[in-house]
Amino acid sequence: MTITNANLLICDILTAMNQTSATSRFAPATWSKDRVRHVRLLALSLMAVAIVAALPAVENLLASVPSSESIQQHRWVHLMLLITVVQLGLAVFLVLYIDWSTLWAVTITNLLFVGVYAGLFAIRILAESTNEIISYLQLDLEEAPPGKQAMWFMLVILMFVTQSFFTGRYARRWKRER
């Protein structure tokens, strides 16, 4: 008797799984080709911004490769590469999950990175070279002068803000039309 009840239960579960009314609520949304194209372009621009922002760190890594002795990288290189990896992951996330909420998540995360770079910019401009944060990130050990480092931070801030503006604007427009 219990085997028959178990078979009936399994049949009921399988029947419920085949119903379209239960599963259609969780089906992935299909968007127009125009929206998908715009989101992919935004993801491509995010990858471009991330790669351009990482150029000084990559240059520093490549400069230390030919040396025969092991050279410990500066901490700012690790920070910039971490931000780049997160942004490249966000670009993949943006391509995989095309939705206005994903665009907002990318916008907010980019603005958090803008805050990090803006803080570094302000510290590099206003603080002495003996500042704790500058010493911790080992920015004082670099060959580039502080003014050049600050201008690079400003350039990265402008790129991230521009990327965030267009991503957030498209997300807002998409949500409004929804």
Q: Enter the pTM of the model.
A: 0.74
pLDDT in tens, the chain (178 residues): 566 666 666 666 656 555 544 455 555 566 778 888 888 999 999 999 999 999 988 888 887 776 656 667 777 888 889 999 999 999 999 888 888 888 999 999 999 999 988 988 888 888 776 778 777 777 666 666 767 777 888 999 999 999 999 999 988 988 787 6
Please report, as a single letter, which amino acid is at residue 108. I
Task: Identify whether the C-beta of residue 40 lies closer than 8 Å to the C-beta of residue 23.
Answer: no
Q: Please give the domain boundaries of the chain with CATH numbers for all domains.
A: 31-177 (1.20.120)
Q: How far apart are CA 8 and CA 10, in angstroms?
A: 5
Task: Identify whether the C-beta of residue 86 lies closer than 8 Å to the C-beta of residue 109.
Answer: yes
